[in-house]
Amino acid sequence: MAESITPPLRFGVVLFPGFQALDAFGPLDCINVLSWSENISLSLLASSLDPVTTKPPTLPGAVGQSVVPTHTFGTAPPLDVLLIPGGLGTMGDSPILQEIITFIQRVYPRLKHLITVCTGSGLAAQAGVLDGKRATSNKKVFQEIISLRPQVQWVYHARWVTDGNIWTSSGVSAGIDATLAWIEEVYGKEKAQDIANEIEYCRHENASRDPFAGLHAI
Amino acid sequence: MAESITPPLRFGVVLFPGFQALDAFGPLDCINVLSWSENISLSLLASSLDPVTTKPPTLPGAVGQSVVPTHTFGTAPPLDVLLIPGGLGTMGDSPILQEIITFIQRVYPRLKHLITVCTGSGLAAQAGVLDGKRATSNKKVFQEIISLRPQVQWVYHARWVTDGNIWTSSGVSAGIDATLAWIEEVYGKEKAQDIANEIEYCRHENASRDPFAGLHAI
């Protein structure tokens, strides 16, 4: 089947227990608003069709919210753009994380763009798709993430990093900036600024300026 | 039953079709992280227990996400803090919006704090709980919102406004700043900054500085 031409239309978002709410819903709110003026489809992908909670498995006292997937990793439709959020749920090892890593390996070759937020880059790294590429991640747990895959050219001081068709952002809120920068690249600067204005968000427009890199000893 | 003393513990969030994802999940991500160190309960309140979509009812081509409520407005537990997001779904009239307005009227007298984001202040205004109080709202649709309830002292230039126990924010992302300011008030400045650092968010700390007020003729 022929791939659609740019701009990309078919978005997918990976969900797993303990994904960070804002990692997903910052970028998703930008995509939601983008869909008010552009023809977009969105799949929410998970291990099963059961609602997926943001509650970290390691913090039973924490509160969370549950989001309804539209597809499993096995039934995911063809995608142009895959978004991988991070969160405490990316840490450690589990069958679901292994399933996600295998899914990334399977779909990456046909993606137009891959966007990761926060520790979501650790999942992409473990899938091998960041090997030899520049990428960033959450700054508080940067050491844990880079130890997952030394083959990646990890960049510490960055709000987000682009290398080829891969966009990796720093922690949580930085995903909004990376997504708006991606929208600017694909749909133009005016569209990106229109969406930032719609959500009353002051963009970080310099990918190299990282207000949080200095907080953590490295 | 005796009310718990400060700091507040029992959060509730109002959901309705077409709520803006980031209006809810910006503040909720702050509350989620707060719950990693503080004892908090959270209720997600809707007209029924069916998942609630962010997809605006007026934009059938838009994409959205569905969130699972924990309670209906009829079964809501006692609450200390109520968060009301905005979004295109607040505009117009519907039985669900009337149900929310009635719910706000019923629970407000026993709340410790009410927080609204974006056009969520329009729902609080229609419930009458903002009468005579200073409040703000989304800047793009400010005129529509203020016309709903002239008894409110609407403030145009504000990232957020506090009056008594009510916190109203400007559009979408401003809800993160209002929530972090509320956390600072209740839990202290260090806690608010810790959470901002955790989510790598650069706070707007001046409630009166509104980068988006000037965008729209008023």
Residue A43 reports pLDDT greater than 80: yes
Residue B216 reports pLDDT greater than 90: no
- Separation between Cα atoms, residue B167 and residue B160, nearest integer Å: 7
- Separation between Cα atoms, residue A88 and residue A62, nearest integer Å: 12
- Separation between Cα atoms, residue B162 and residue A184, nearest integer Å: 35
- Shortest alpha-carbon distance between residue B169 and chain A (Å): 11
Q: Which two tokens stand for residue A15?
A: 């969900």
Mean pLDDT of B162-169: 98
Mean pLDDT of B189-212: 97
Mark A164-193 as b/e (b = at least 16 C-beta within 10 Å).
eebbbbbbbbbbbbbbbbbbbebbeeebbe
Residue A3 reports pLDDT greater than 90: no
Left (φ > 0), alpha (ψ -120 to 50) or beta: where does A92 sit? left
Domains annotated for chain A, with CATH where assigned, are 10-45+69-199 (3.40.50.880)
Cα B99 to Cα A125, A196, B45, B103, B120: the distances in Å are 47, 31, 11, 6, 14
Strands B166-169 vs B160-163: parallel, antiparallel or unpaired: antiparallel
Q: Dihedral of CA B113/B115/B121/B127: which sign?
A: negative
- Coil, helix or strand for A149? coil
- Shortest alpha-carbon distance between residue A200 and chain B (Å): 6
Residue type, A212: F
A67: chain B residues, CB-CB within 8 Å: 65-68
CB contact under 8 A, B40 and A25: no
Q: Taking each helix axis from N to C terminus, what angle separates B21-34 and B174-187, rounded to the nearest 10 degrees? A: 30
Q: Dihedral of CA A176/A180/A185/A187: which sign?
A: positive
Q: Which two tokens stand for residue A148?
A: 């997952």
- Kindly identify which residue of chain B lies nearest to residue A38, measuring between CA atoms: B62
- Separation between Cα atoms, residue A176 and residue A160, nearest integer Å: 10
CB-closest option in B28, B139, B204 to A21: B28
Residue A5 reports pLDDT greater than 90: no
Q: Which residue, among B15, B19, B29, B67, would best test binding to A if mutated, counting the most A CBs under 10 Å from its CB?
A: B29
Q: Is A143 exposed, middle or buried (0-12, 13-18, 19+ CB in 10 A)?
A: middle
What average pLDDT does chain B have?
Answer: 95
* Structure letter (DSSP) for residue A109: G
The model's pLDDT over A152-207, given as tens digits with 9 standing for 90+, comes to 999 999 999 999 999 999 999 999 999 999 999 999 999 999 999 999 999 999 99
CB contact under 8 A, B35 and A198: no
CB contact under 8 A, A200 and B172: yes
Mean pLDDT of B67-86: 98
Is the separation of the CB atoms in A117 and A82 below 8 Å? Answer: no
Mean pLDDT of A134-150: 96
Give the pLDDT confidence score for residue A216 in this predicted structure. Answer: 79
Residue B7 reports pLDDT greater than 70: no
- Shortest alpha-carbon distance between residue B126 and chain A (Å): 23
Other Cβ atoms closer than 10 A to B89: 24
- Separation between Cα atoms, residue B166 and residue B111, nearest integer Å: 10
Full DSSP string of B65-112? -EE--SEETTTPPP-SEEEE--SGGGSS--HHHHHHHHHHHHHGGG-S
Q: Tokens 């798709």, residue?
A: A129
Give the pLDDT confidence score for residue B192 in this predicted structure. Answer: 98
pTM: 0.95
Give the pLDDT confidence score for residue B8 in this predicted structure. Answer: 53
Cα–Cα nearest to A179, from A88, A66, A82: A82
Residue A49 reports pLDDT greater than 90: yes
Picking from A75-79, A197-201, A213-217, which range would have the lowest pLDDT averaged per residue?
A: A213-217
CB contact under 8 A, A200 and B138: yes
Picking from A114-118, B57-61, B100-104, which range would have the lowest pLDDT averaged per residue?
A: B57-61
- Shortest alpha-carbon distance between residue A41 and chain B (Å): 7
Give the pLDDT confidence score for residue B5 in this predicted structure. Answer: 45
